[in-house]
Amino acid sequence: MTMWAQIDAYDPVAGAPVVLRAASVDDPAVCMAAGGPWWPMLAKLPVLRYDLFDGAFGGEISAPTGTIELQAEAWPNLGRYALADARVQLWTDISSDPIFDGRATAQPQLLDGRAQLAIRVDDGWLDKPLLATYAGTTGVEGPASLKGQPKPLALGAPRYVAGKLIDSVNNVFQVSAYGAVQAFEAALERLARFEGALADYPNYAALVAATVPAGTWATCKAQGLARFGAPPNGQVSFLMQGDASGPNGWARKPGQLIRRLALLSGGAGKIDDASLDALDAARPYNLSLYLDQQTTARQLIQAIAASVNAVAGVSWAGKLFVVPVGLGAASLTLAADGSALPPVRSVEQMEVSAPFSKVAMAAARAWTVHALADIAFADPLIDMGPYDPAVTYRAGNIVQFEGSSYRYSSATPSAGNAPPNTAYWAVLAAQGVPGEPGPPGKALTITSDRQMITYSSAGLPVPEGQTVTFTANKQNTAATVYWSLADGAGNPVSITYLSGATGDSVQMTEAAFAAARGTTKSVIVTATLTDGATLTSKAQVAAVQDGAASPSATALRLTTRSIQIQAFADGTVKGLEKANGQLSVWNGDANITAAATLSAVAEGCTGTINTAADTPVSGKPKGYYQITGMSADDGTLTLTAVVGGVTLSEVVSISKLRGGYEIIKAPNPLPTDHLFEGRMVFLELDGKLWRFHDGAWTSAVPAADLVGTVASSQLGIGVGGNQLIGAVPGTNPRNYMRFAYNPDGVQYYDVVTGGLTTGGQGVLQSLNFGYDPGPDYSLPDGSTFMVYQPNSQTGAAHFSDIRMARMKNQNGDLDEMWPIEEGKTYEFSLWACAYGCRLAVLIVWFDGDGNALSETPTGDPVANSYALVEPDEVPGRTTLGGYKRIYNRGKAPVGARQAMLVFRKAHTTPNASGTSRLFGARPMFAETAENATEMLPYSVPAYGFLRAENLIARSIVGEKVAFQTLIGDHMQIGSIDAARLAVTELSAITARIGLLRTASAGKRAEFRNDGVAVFNSSNVNTFFAGEY
């Protein structure tokens, strides 16, 4: 079967509808039918089904469901298309109406290049609220109190309907609000009829403008309205000929009412009118319906169909149909004697209930139930319950007596006058005269303990000794039972084949059964008794014989019937290693491949089958088949086996799955036509892979798209070394960073003074330059520094900043700005741990004039987990594994010339000690690749140049300088001041030192050239030696 499928989907990316068309066969006539193309992408024929029985006998209107399975390669963007609730149509004849018209129930999942789509006929219109509601804007839309309440609908000829009071000023009632009604037969107040309507008016405005005297009424049939000349004094009701605005005019029959309800619910074009016309012909009954409460068309149509023994449903094409239930001619006869197919395996006689008949009654329903007080009567009607002789009854009292109801009719109250005394009582409802009881019913039935005598295929009874016992079951009779016997064709046979001719139970042996049935397949046993009437019951026993074994069927078995081959975008096959299978020939349970002659015919591909072991493929058994080449996108390999004069064939389908990208040969440029989102090409001109995105070709790949997909060894990791000159492990942290910003004035421990301070370099502590971190919290390379807040102070800013810095002059002044180049990407990192506080890192970009441009990351760095270490997140201690490396990576913005590198410590968080510490080690700042996916490996920065003008006071300590570290001809004259040296700090020094003084003035010694001079406190030379 050929099938076409169309899915009206939507592309949320392009913001446009997308029509998907698929066919079940790859044939030009099919794929280009009806304006094609129809892609041959139906993986298998759609499955359509009905749920005919819900298990609850509820008469639910069921809608067909089904599934479609599509191959996705024709639509590269299928995964992003919105298919849920998309319209789905199926054809078996593309020139005619679709056989299915429905909706997709959910978004399909893509698996192995296939999408399975669940579909269902669209029957949601049956569940919409049926009745319109009043707007509450006065007039025919009723007062504000009616807003949102349903408008009434009268169908057929409903009796005693109340209507809705929509205008209490003008006493206007609406009985049906969906167009014209056929007629108002009568208007009643407390069941008292008015005279005929005064007049009929064309609309509401004319009706309320007319003069309607008290005691009279008028109508507007065009809008289902009635108006009284005076306010009613009790329950109002109407006898109606209802809605006449549908295609059938005044709808009366079941099909007409269903059609009107379906149209009111939005079912135009979704109704099988022929089935409704046929229903009216089969069930020509007048029905009436009055609705003043909200409901749905589904509920009402089900109820109407059930009331006339019909079934409603929705077809595959989405049309409502209603079919009367009937008994058709038998299409199959089951014969227990084995004379017809299919054979009957077993027969069992079941107990049945006594026969019964069903009586159907029809009545015109009173749609408004009137209480006694709502009935206009000369006397007040009061239900007094069962008659009581001690009670005094008055006119209008109602009692029940001996199964009948009576109304007290006498004008004089009395007691003790029991019904049915006509001087006091009028009959309302009388009980009928009981009939005479009939005689007890008599019945006779036969049961047997066996319904079959079984035989083997050779005709022998299996098992032996099969005997049948027949039992007569009598009810309300003791008469004698007489037995008779006939063969399966109804011919009488001798009663001697039974164990007796009378009695309540008889037996028949297998031998007697075989003789009695003769050439037929069964015997018929009859029991008869006469007790006033003659009663008869029959039972039948059949012979069942095993059939002869059928010859075994010969069949082909294939390990695979469908092969998909991976290919590049240009169709070049990637590999055929898995494009193979194994054929075998079987006769029943026997493998007869060795006796078969095998062959293969390829179309759209090339392939072989081993006609013998190792031929043509070495090392493979007979029947091994393979695909050796693939020229077209689709192909087949027809495998044939001939054995015992029987030819068997199987077709292996092969399809090519293209991947990769298109190759644009040089010198051709990028394509300018057939552009779509996601199209990819390789351009030989520049050797780049381009993709079409956001309306333009691009060869760039955002760094975010590479996360987790490219190894760090393939990216530009390690573009630059550590630029933090001087931040060498083991050096004083106060030489390459400063405690720079403390807006809240929080006090920190100062290692220099041993007290508390709100600022100053003493806050920065390390193992060799302030012992507070201790050896248990320092890395072996001495790179660990610490900031200690011995309190829980806080403030509005919630943080303090430490900034990386570099020396800028011989006084030891620090510069917090680090030179950078705009457009380049930099990374700032630190190994850290924190106790009782949080720590983050950030980069602030500045222009050449010191104006801040932006920060990385934007906003609070605490929001970025990669740049943050939480309190007690890592243990720290003496191994690098105890620290977390936090970092920030950013691109220098336009105009950026320098950067500020910041460690941001949050104030102490609530904890048991009420203090906090941060530990940091191995800071690093370096240029990196824009698309970097991993942090740069740490590198030790340069020590910098040790020049005299860069030495600060006390920066060289004798015991810290190795032998021959300072050589005279490498030092500028005057760069070492004797006043700055302790006596024991110089030993065996060779230097070209120019002038060396022990003091700048007063009492001192001076060394110059090859001489020494000594001066007293008055600057007078008291000693001289050598050349001076």
- Segment 355-359 shows an average pLDDT of 56
pLDDT band for position 493 (cuts 50, 70, 90):
very high
- Segment 968-982 shows an average pLDDT of 44
Gap between the Cα atoms of 902 and 818, Å rounded: 12
Class of domain 554-658: mainly beta
Q: What is the pLDDT of residue 507?
A: 94
* Structural domain 443-545, CATH architecture: Sandwich (2.60)
- In this predicted structure, the answer to whether residue 399 has a pLDDT above a threshold of 80 is yes
Strand 634-643 with 852-856, pairing: unpaired
Residue 798: Cβ within 10 Å count? 14
Residue 411 neighbours by CB under 8 Å, 6+ apart: 395
Strand 605-609 with 624-630, pairing: antiparallel
- In this predicted structure, the answer to whether residue 696 has a pLDDT above a threshold of 70 is yes
Sort 53 into a burial class: Cβ within 10 Å, 0-12 / 13-18 / 19+: exposed
Q: What is the pLDDT of residue 803?
A: 92
pLDDT band for position 435 (cuts 50, 70, 90):
confident
CB 672 within 8 A of CB 580: no
- In this predicted structure, the answer to whether residue 987 has a pLDDT above a threshold of 60 is no
Higher pLDDT, 285 or 331: 285
Q: Which fold would CATH assign to domain 377-429?
A: Seminal Fluid Protein  PDC-109 (Domain B) (2.10.10)
Q: For 504-539, what is each residue's pLDDT tens digit?
A: 999 999 999 999 999 998 999 999 999 988 999 999
pLDDT band for position 862 (cuts 50, 70, 90):
low
SS3 label, residue 268: coil
Gap between the Cα atoms of 921 and 940, Å rounded: 12
User: Which residues share a beta bridge with 429?
Assistant: 405
Same-fold call for 443-545 versus 554-658:
yes
Residue 273 neighbours by CB under 8 Å, 6+ apart: 259
Mean residue pLDDT of the chain comes to 84
Q: For 277-318, what is each residue's pLDDT tens digit?
A: 999 999 999 999 999 999 999 999 989 998 888 888 888 888
Q: What is the pLDDT of residue 76?
A: 87
Q: How far is CA 232 from the centre of its chain?
A: 57
pLDDT band for position 82 (cuts 50, 70, 90):
very high
SS3 label, residue 450: coil
Residue 625 neighbours by CB under 8 Å, 6+ apart: 580, 581, 582, 583, 600, 607, 608, 609, 610, 637, 639, 652
Query: What are the sequence ranges of the domains in the chain?
Result: 4-122, 139-324, 377-429, 443-545, 554-658, 662-700, 714-928, 956-1027
- Verdict on whether the full-model pTM lies above 0.75: no
Q: For 709-733, what is each residue's pLDDT tens digit?
A: 444 333 434 456 888 887 888 888 8
Gap between the Cα atoms of 571 and 635, Å rounded: 14
Q: What is the pLDDT of residue 986?
A: 46
Gap between the Cα atoms of 212 and 24, Å rounded: 72
Q: What is the pLDDT of residue 817?
A: 92
DSSP 493-533: E-GGGSS-SBSSEEEEEHHHHHHHHTTSSEEEEEEEEEESE
Q: What is the pLDDT of residue 265?
A: 92
Q: What is the pLDDT of residue 954?
A: 47
CA dihedral 873, 876, 882, 884 (to 10 degrees): 60
Strand 814-815 with 818-819, pairing: unpaired
- In this predicted structure, the answer to whether residue 546 has a pLDDT above a threshold of 70 is yes
SS3 label, residue 714: helix
- Segment 741-756 shows an average pLDDT of 89
CATH (residue range 714-928): 2.60.120
- In this predicted structure, the answer to whether residue 805 has a pLDDT above a threshold of 50 is yes
Straight-line distance from the first to the last Cα atom of the chain, in angstroms, rounded to the nearest whole number: 122
Gap between the Cα atoms of 980 and 996, Å rounded: 11
Q: What is the pLDDT of residue 768?
A: 77
pLDDT band for position 50 (cuts 50, 70, 90):
low
Higher pLDDT, 876 or 137: 137
Gap between the Cα atoms of 114 and 70, Å rounded: 6
Residue with tokens 């024991």: 984
Residue 411 phi/psi, 5° resolution? -75, -15
Residue 565 neighbours by CB under 8 Å, 6+ apart: 573, 574, 576, 579, 627, 630, 654, 655, 656, 657
- Segment 146-162 shows an average pLDDT of 94
Residue 832: Cβ within 10 Å count? 26
Q: What is the pLDDT of residue 6?
A: 93
